[in-house]
Amino acid sequence: MIGSVVVTGAAGGIGQAIVETLKNNHLKVVAVDLSPKLAELEDVAPVQVDLTTDEGVAAVAAAAGAAGAPGWVLVNNAGTTRKAAIGNCSHETSGKELKS
């Protein structure tokens, strides 16, 4: 049995649509995003964190555990893109892209 669904990148676009669909199907949602827009979502357990840090990952795990039932599902929708030709990207930018 699914207890809750953790959705990363939940504050906008595809992530927000996923959150709304899950809520419409009566599932508990732990909504995760770095954006302050996360506060605009209703009827979710919001977790505003940076998932590229150990602390952020730990906060999401704690929120998922606190959401109730023993089982949970992860919808890993978080990510970033930078519009640039690959030859114009620095090593640092490319590394951030892959880490996101």
First to last CA, the chain: 30
Positions in the chain whose pLDDT score sits under 70? 1, 68-70, 80-100
What pTM was computed for the model? 0.78
| Model pLDDT, residue 66 | 84
Tokens representing 42? 């209703």
Calculate the alpha carbon distances from 36 to 9, 41, 63, 95 in Å: 12, 10, 17, 24
Question: What pLDDT was estimated at residue 25?
Answer: 92
Write down the pLDDT at residue 64. Answer: 86
User: 72 with 6: CB under 8 angstroms?
Assistant: yes
pLDDT of residue 65: 83
**Which pLDDT value is given to residue 72?**
78
Q: What is the pLDDT of residue 32?
A: 96
- Asked if residues 32 and 14 have their Cβ atoms less than 8 Å apart, the reply is no
